[in-house]
C-alpha cells in the first residue's frame, strides 16, 4: 500500500504566502511524477503544478510566477510554495503521485488539505 499525506494548509490573507508538503510512504520502489491539484466548491479538480522525477515542472497558467513546486526524492516528498495568494486560490489541495511499487505504477491521492485565502 502507498499513502500520501498532505500538510501545511490553512487560512491566509490575500497577498500572503503558504507552503504545502506531501509525503509518500509505504511500498515504494520509485516515484515518477508528483503533482498538486485543487478543487474549489462547485468546480472540477484541476492541475496546479506537476514535477517529474527528473525535476521538470509545469504549472497552471493561473499560478505561474506565484507557485513553485519542488521535491525531495530521498524523502519521497513534494512541496508547493505559494506566494501572492488570491481569494480564487481557495480550494482543497490534493497531492498526487505516480508510484512504482516494483510491480506496477499506480496513481495515488492524498486526502487533501484546505487552503483558504481571505480578501
Half-sphere exposure of 44 (CA within 13 A, CB side): 2
The pLDDT value recorded for residue 5 is 97
The pLDDT value recorded for residue 101 is 93
Distance CA 38, CA 88 (A): 11
Task: Bin 117: left if φ > 0, else alpha if -120 < ψ < 50, else beta.
Answer: beta
Q: Give the dihedral sign, CA 86/87/88/91.
A: positive
pLDDT one-digit tens code per residue, 11-28: 999 999 999 999 999 999
Confidence of residue 51 (pLDDT cuts 50, 70, 90): very high
Amino acid at each position: 500500500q502507498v499513502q500520501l499525506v498532505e500538510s501545511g494548509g490553512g487560512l491566509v490573507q490575500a497577498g500572503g504566502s503558504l507552503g504545502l508538503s506531501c509525503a509518500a510512504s509505504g511500498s515504494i520502489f520509485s516515484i515518477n511524477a508528483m503533482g498538486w491539484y485543487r478543487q474549489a466548491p462547485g468546480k472540477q479538480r484541476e492541475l496546479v503544478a506537476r514535477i517529474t522525477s527528473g525535476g521538470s515542472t509545469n504549472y497552471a497558467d493561473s499560478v505561474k510566477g506565484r507557485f513553485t513546486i519542488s521535491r525531495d526524492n530521498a524523502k519521497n516528498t513534494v512541496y508547493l510554495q505559494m506566494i501572492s495568494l488570491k481569494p480564487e486560490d481557495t480550494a482543497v489541495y490534493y497531492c498526487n503521485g505516480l508510484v512504482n511499487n516494483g510491480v506496477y505504477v499506480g496513481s495515488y491521492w492524498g486526502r487533501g488539505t484546505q487552503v483558504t485565502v481571505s480578501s
